[in-house]
Amino acid sequence: MARLVLAVLSLLVAGTAIANEQLIRRSLEPKLNGVKIEGVQPSPIPGLFEVRFRTAQGVQILYTDPKGENIVQGEIIDTRTGRNLTDERIGKLSAIRFDTLPLDKAVKIVRGNGKRVAAMFSDPYCPACQSFEQTLQQVDDMTLYVFMFPVIRPERIDDSKSIWCSSDRAKAWLDLALRKKAPAAATCDNPVESIVALGQSIGVRATPTIFFENGERQQGGMSAPDLRMRMELAARESRQAKAK
């Protein structure tokens, strides 16, 4: 009898969820300027639903009530851990396969034992990137693959090309991005323009954009403790996926 009651309750909950999704789609899609809703599901907050859709800027999330009568725009922060649950969710929804990135076309920077791994699309003339470089100096034991993505000041693309042609690419990158010291002019075969095309093809819409080992992305900078936590979590998830 108990099993039957649980089964009925499960069906009722599932039916309500489906009804809510259909109601939310009907209510909100006409208000999203022609954008199609890709999915609706309960959010981490009881009674609040996550609505996800895609624009030219990539995956977007907003929240609504069960009838789609009210829209909540913003981020859900777990005050117990400080985690930005909205950012993490977008990172999962817009994940790529890390092993598809052409790491041989990135500037490789290693600190300590290099066990933490991430890739970053960054423009050395982007103020947010320059600020994040300061944060990166606080994270030890990491390997960072920097894909030069000169879209903020495209007229200075030759500086990125000169970094690639430097005898010490890591030093040349840090001199410019961290210390604002431009590299000596140099020419050689370089991947900079192909990396700009790559970033655009995988939806890099802002700098810096970080990709972790599990393929999840983070648009914009983050604190050093959060970066360490995300890198270690991504490494663990990547190992688990490879073991399957």
Phi, psi values for residue 239, rounded to 5°: -65, -40
Cβ neighbours of 56 (radius 10 Å): 6
Cβ pair 44, 52 in contact under 8 A? no
Tokens standing for residue 144? 């960072």
The per-residue pLDDT for 125 is 95
Report the chain (244 residues): mean pLDDT per 10 consecutive residues. 40 50 90 89 92 84 92 91 86 88 97 94 95 94 96 94 97 96 94 95 91 91 91 87 76
CA 53 – CA 38 distance, rounded (Å): 5
The per-residue pLDDT for 113 is 94
In eight-state DSSP terms, residue 182 is P
Assigned CATH class of 98-243: alpha beta
Burial class (CB in 10 A: 0-12, 13-18, 19+), 114: middle
pTM of the entire predicted model: 0.76
**Domain ranges, ordered by start, for the chain:** 20-93, 98-243
Assigned CATH class of 20-93: alpha beta
